[in-house]
Amino acid sequence: MKDLAGFERIWLIYWLHKAPKSSLLVTPFLDTRERGIFATRAPARPSPIGISAVRLLAIQEGVLEVADVDIIDGTRSERRDPRATPAESVSRSE
């Protein structure tokens, strides 16, 4: 975590430990046919891996203090990467 301190935002990659197992087939809202999950907007996904662009506030004794987090308290972070390219920019409204 030594050089993360210079970044405003970081990618936080985490395991969705409370996500239920999901099927690869779903019947979408207002539909009557089963469809492949990736062809729908169903919230369930077969891979319980999450990614969030969070604002890095501080690093103290190996602990990251972040904001703009949309994960459940206690979720274990698997990886932390800096957001470094213009393609990864965040609009000011976020």
- The tokens for 20 are 């239920």
Percent pLDDT > 90 in the chain is 11
- The tokens for 1 are 């975590």
The residues near 82 (Cβ < 8 Å, ≥ 6 apart) are: 3, 4, 7, 9, 10, 11
> Does the pLDDT at position 80 exceed 80?
no
Q: Which pLDDT band, with edges at 50, 70 and 90, does 3 fall under? A: confident
The model's pLDDT over 7-22, given as tens digits with 9 standing for 90+, comes to 888 888 888 888 778 7
Predicted local confidence at residue 41, as pLDDT: 83
Q: What is the CATH architecture of 4-88?
A: Beta Barrel (2.40)
Of residues 2 and 16, more confidently modeled: 16
Domain boundaries along the sequence of the chain? 4-88
Of residues 46 and 80, more confidently modeled: 46
Neighbours of 56 (CB within 10 A): 22
